[in-house]
Amino acid sequence: MAKDMSGKDTPKQIIDPKMLSALVCPKTRSALTFDSAANELISKKAKLAYPIREGVPIMLIEEARQLD
């Protein structure tokens, strides 16, 4: 199970492939991939990870985590 911000276990989310294909990175307009372990949508081009909270993708650049 994944952990939420408080450290509690949360069930892993499943993203509908149709929804994933419709979403793009708001910064680069590039495709996203789903990281089920981290429960995030990844923009490889922007090097950002967008969180998914309670099944809702948070597609705000300021909420994204910077990737190495």
Q: How many domains does the chain have?
A: 1
What is the number of alpha carbons within 13 Å of residue 60 lying toward its C-beta? 5
Model pLDDT for residues 1-16, shown as the tens digit of each residue:
455 555 655 556 678 8
- To which H or E segment does residue 17 belong? helix 17-22
Classify each residue of 15-36 as buried b or exposed e, where b means 16 or more C-beta atoms within 10 Å of its C-beta.
beeeeeeebebeeeeeebebee
| CA distances from residue 34 to 6, 64 in whole angstroms, order as listed | 22, 14
Average pLDDT, the chain: 87
What is the extent of the structural domain holding 59?
Answer: 2-66
CATH number at residue 17: 2.20.25.10
- The pTM assigned to this predicted structure is 0.78
